[in-house]
Amino acid sequence: MDILIEKSVEILVTGLVQGVGFRPFVFRIATQFGLSGWVQNTNENVRIQITGKSLNINQFINNLKSGLPPAAMIEDLSVKEIDRSEFSGFRILGSNDISDQITEISPDIAVCHDCLEDMNQPGTRHDYAFVNCTNCGPRFTIIQDLPYDRAKTTMNSFALCPDCLAEYETISDRRFHAQPTACIKCGPHYELVAENISVSTNIGDILIHISTLIDNGGIVLIKGLGGMHLACDAFNEGAVSRLRELKNREGKPFAVMFSDIDNLKLYADIDPLEEQSLTSWRRPIVLLKKKIHLTPPTLTSGLNAGLDLLGVMLPYMPVHFLLFRQLKTAAIVLTSGNFSNEPILIDNQQAIKMFSPHVDAMVLHNREIYNRTDDSVVKIMAGKERVFRRSRGYVPTPVRTALNMEGIVAFGAELTNCFCVGKGHKAFLSQHIGDLQGIETTQFYENTIEQFIKLFRIKPAMIAIDMHPDYISTKTGLSYSNLPIVSVQHHHAHIASCMVEHRLDERVIGIALDGTGYGTDGNTWGSEFMVCDLNEFERVSHFEYLPMPGGDLAAEQPWRMAIASLYQVFGADLLNLEIPFIKQMDTDKASLIIQMMAKNINCPLTSGAGRLFDAVAALLGLVHEATFQAEGPMRLESLVKPESIDQYSFTIDNTIQFQSTILGIVEDITNGIQPDTIATKFHNTIISVIFSCANTIRMNTGINKAVLSGGVFQNKYLLEGATNLLEKNNFEVFSQASVPTNDGGIALGQLAVAAKRRELKCV
């Protein structure tokens, strides 16, 4: 009987298998099936050698695949028979650093149920805010180098006490080799820093103090997993507006943390997929539809700038759970601890220096944050979780491709920057860096590039950059070294990013709808219909150019784009239109803009879809000057009524022209048609344009795969509408999910294009 024959095998496992409780899991099932041998972490993989009956080995392998711990993920598992070895029992061997290959690093994992339970029990983890185990806790934020061992994390300054050490060494324990494990006696602790109060490290006292402050309208800074947060009562109008002033953040919506899912459901509509994202171990901010909530308490209107969306999350650190136990309020604003446009703060001294004059208390801890992360942001669209801001809980999970991307460093775009490094067939996209505009963000950018290169043992061999000569990211890439450089058109990079996410390496129809990106004709692009592969693209059509009076200023002041779009239809007569937008307009200002366009002074051309959305939003009076990025398009989307199918007319020849659309909108406004109807008709028009163009390209080329990318596809109605219409007409449609469709995904596309050109020897 073959199955009873004793043999030995070696199993190599790659994927997310370190720092997620994988080895104790292997130990458990090996013991369960009476197998002897060992398991070991290396840089490349997890190695297992076992001896036992064939039957038991097969059962072991099946369990290995099917019973994984929550955050673990197997990419590849190979089994080969080896010479029969005798082992005594099953052991976990020390880590072995064997080469420059790397295993994956786990993202940070929300505190697990078992650890929350430990906090309720008497003992050294009672109310302990840094409780963790092999299934949960900090990972990426504390890791300094590989392989993942305590000595290479910021926990290396805390020596394990005898009790913790015993757990750490006991294979059957939940904290066996839990690198960040700690207890009240030996681990990190919180400290209260507040005026007129002597520094306190008693967590009970700290929580009572800060929860009283928050419940009474105070603002508290709390050090978290990947950076500092500012917190205040989400129901307190005064506190929220004070927080806005403090952060110097005019209109951008704030995220809210609810005490639990039941309270959350009172304030937001939520479907099963949204609940799944909210409660997952990644614990992101999820953008949900705000409920009309009439009975008090109501969330302050200042939270989300009057939009119909609300960014919400659930507690993910032990301290969040402890805090809500004390708080009377069921929801707090939890926003990154920084001033507008600066990266989230991670350093205690800097936080004290910058924020002590402005907040009512600060709660800091002494575990150093090595890799800065923000809260991630996702939205469920077309039945899938779509990552808008990719950071805590998601980074540094790689994107796997068939391309060899070894040594390529892609520097990304200017706004919403992420960069990307290539290691073999894996692309590691950085955490959300932010807008490369201030010195602090630029420094964060440069430092993190260095950290990634070191952490993932990259030997830079090629640089990929955007074509825009003035992007900080482009300049950083150019000054990086004298390696070969691949410069990639912005919208080609968007489409390539989506292609790589779906492992497409062929000719496709690429539809990039976006704000701005540098075009090969020197104009600002942003509504590109292309036929492309990973190497090159042909721009087939685009929205007809509109002048941007005042250049970049027109992106911040949508009213300028509204004048520009009216000018294309009515010329200077636009001043006589009987619509509120014109009647309320300062005539001198409008005349100046008209003159600029007539004489072509400082009026660069744009085909950016975002600018057209801006124009329509301004025409409807939804926005005049934007107080945050994409405010116009977001307000427009907020009004959409899904049941309406009406649309405006448009013209397609070489380009796509919207004069008749604008004319229709002006007529509707004049006739007193409601803004929500107009917004819906406009969205339907764009969906129709996407389909018409894709269809024409398919007829001319026979290509049936439509790839959608660019920031405009963060619009749920548009993405779902376009996807449905294309699929109904038998297109295969691809859109981004685990990689941002906004400029945060650009670097991945740049990396892929560079890898492809290297493969084809075009560079």
SS3 757: helix
Q: Based on CB atoms, which residue is closest to Fe ion, 517 or 632?
A: 517
Residue 491 CB, nearest approach to Fe ion (Å): 7
Q: How many residues does the chain have?
A: 763
d(CA 526, CA 379): 23
Residue 115 touches which member of Fe ion, Zn ion, none, C-beta under 5-8 Å by kind: Zn ion
Which of 155-163, 194-202, 512-520, 597-605 is the region at the interface with Fe ion (rule: CB under 5 A)? 512-520
Taking alpha carbons only, the member of 80, 105, 3 closest to residue 454 is: 105
Residue 112 touches which member of Fe ion, Zn ion, none, C-beta under 5-8 Å by kind: Zn ion
Q: Write out the residues near Zn ion by the rule CB under 5 A.
A: 112, 115, 133, 135-136, 161, 164, 183, 185-186
Number of residues that bind Fe ion (CB under 5 A): 3
d(CA 418, CA 387): 13
Residue 255 CB, nearest approach to Fe ion (Å): 23
Residue 156 CB, nearest approach to Fe ion (Å): 40
Residue 72 CB, nearest approach to Fe ion (Å): 34
Residue 736 CB, nearest approach to Fe ion (Å): 12
Residue 70 CB, nearest approach to Zn ion (Å): 10
Residues in CB range of 376: below 8 A, 6 or more apart: 282, 284, 285, 387, 389, 390, 391, 392, 393, 394, 432
Residue 106 touches which member of Zn ion, Fe ion, none, C-beta under 5-8 Å by kind: none
- Beta partners for 96? 42
Q: Based on CB atoms, which residue is closest to Fe ion, 412 or 517?
A: 517
- DSSP for 658-720, please give it: -HHHHHHHHHHHHTT--HHHHHHHHHHHHHHHHHHHHHHHHHHH---EEEEESGGGG-HHHHH
Tokens of 286: 């999820």
Residue 115 CB, nearest approach to Zn ion (Å): 3
Residue 164 touches which member of Zn ion, Fe ion, none, C-beta under 5-8 Å by kind: Zn ion
Site string for Fe ion, 466-505 (x = CB under 5 A): ----------------------------------------
Which of 43-51, 261-269, 459-467, 510-518 is the region at the interface with Fe ion (rule: CB under 5 A)? 510-518
Which of 87-95, 118-126, 517-525, 565-573 is the region at the interface with Fe ion (rule: CB under 5 A)? 517-525
Is residue 22 within 8 Å of residue 41, measured between CB atoms? no
Residue 743 touches which member of Zn ion, Fe ion, none, C-beta under 5-8 Å by kind: Fe ion
Among 374, 514, 544, 631, binds Fe ion (CB under 5 A): 514
Q: Based on CB atoms, which residue is closest to Fe ion, 253 or 517?
A: 517
d(CA 431, CA 417): 9
d(CA 731, CA 333): 42
Residue 469 CB, nearest approach to Fe ion (Å): 16
Residue 514 CB, nearest approach to Fe ion (Å): 4
Residue 424 CB, nearest approach to Zn ion (Å): 32
Taking alpha carbons only, the member of 69, 58, 85, 74 closest to residue 28 is: 69
d(CA 633, CA 623): 9
d(CA 387, CA 379): 7
d(CA 405, CA 14): 18
Taking alpha carbons only, the member of 388, 493, 369, 371 closest to residue 751 is: 493
Q: Based on CB atoms, which residue is closest to Zn ion, 150 or 756?
A: 150
Q: Based on CB atoms, which residue is closest to Fe ion, 243 or 746?
A: 746
Is residue 755 within 8 Å of residue 748, measured between CB atoms? no
Is residue 689 within 8 Å of residue 697, measured between CB atoms? no
Residue 183 touches which member of Zn ion, Fe ion, none, C-beta under 5-8 Å by kind: Zn ion
DSSP element (H, E) containing 19: none
Residue 268 CB, nearest approach to Zn ion (Å): 28
Taking alpha carbons only, the member of 729, 758, 762, 722 closest to residue 512 is: 722
Q: Based on CB atoms, which residue is closest to Fe ion, 323 or 512?
A: 512
Residue 713 CB, nearest approach to Fe ion (Å): 11
Which of 199-207, 511-519, 563-571, 640-648 is the region at the interface with Fe ion (rule: CB under 5 A)? 511-519
Q: Based on CB atoms, which residue is closest to Fe ion, 424 or 551?
A: 551
Residue 116 CB, nearest approach to Zn ion (Å): 8
SS3 168: helix
Taking alpha carbons only, the member of 763, 745, 737, 758 closest to residue 466 is: 745
Burial of 530 (0-12, 13-18, 19+ CB in 10 A): buried
Residue 501 touches which member of Fe ion, Zn ion, none, C-beta under 5-8 Å by kind: none
Q: Based on CB atoms, which residue is closest to Fe ion, 132 or 714?
A: 714
Residue 285 CB, nearest approach to Zn ion (Å): 22
Residue 136 touches which member of Fe ion, Zn ion, none, C-beta under 5-8 Å by kind: Zn ion
Q: Based on CB atoms, which residue is closest to Fe ion, 257 or 554?
A: 554
Site string for Fe ion, 730-759 (x = CB under 5 A): -------------x----------------
Residue 653 CB, nearest approach to Fe ion (Å): 26
The full 3-state SS of 213-225, as one line of letters, equals HHHCCCCEEEECC
Residue 514 touches which member of Zn ion, Fe ion, none, C-beta under 5-8 Å by kind: Fe ion
Site string for Fe ion, 555-584 (x = CB under 5 A): ------------------------------
d(CA 727, CA 376): 30
Q: Based on CB atoms, which residue is closest to Fe ion, 36 or 497?
A: 497
544 near Fe ion, rule: CB under 5 A: no
Taking CB atoms, the residue at the shortest distance from Fe ion is 514
Kindly tell me the sign of the dihedral angle through the C-alpha atoms of 104, 71, 368, 121.
Answer: negative
> 10 Å Cβ neighbour count for 245?
10
- DSSP for 70-86, please give it: TT-EEEEEEEEEE----
Looking at residue 108, its amino acid is D
Q: Based on CB atoms, which residue is closest to Zn ion, 25 or 411?
A: 25
Q: Based on CB atoms, which residue is closest to Fe ion, 437 or 660?
A: 437
Q: Based on CB atoms, which residue is closest to Zn ion, 19 or 302?
A: 19
Tokens of 118: 């430990």
Question: Tokens 């941007």 identify what position?
Answer: 548
d(CA 424, CA 422): 6
Q: Based on CB atoms, which residue is closest to Fe ion, 118 or 514?
A: 514
DSSP element (H, E) containing 373: none
d(CA 287, CA 631): 15
Q: Based on CB atoms, which residue is closest to Fe ion, 514 or 533?
A: 514
Residues that bind Fe ion (CB under 5 A): 514, 517, 743
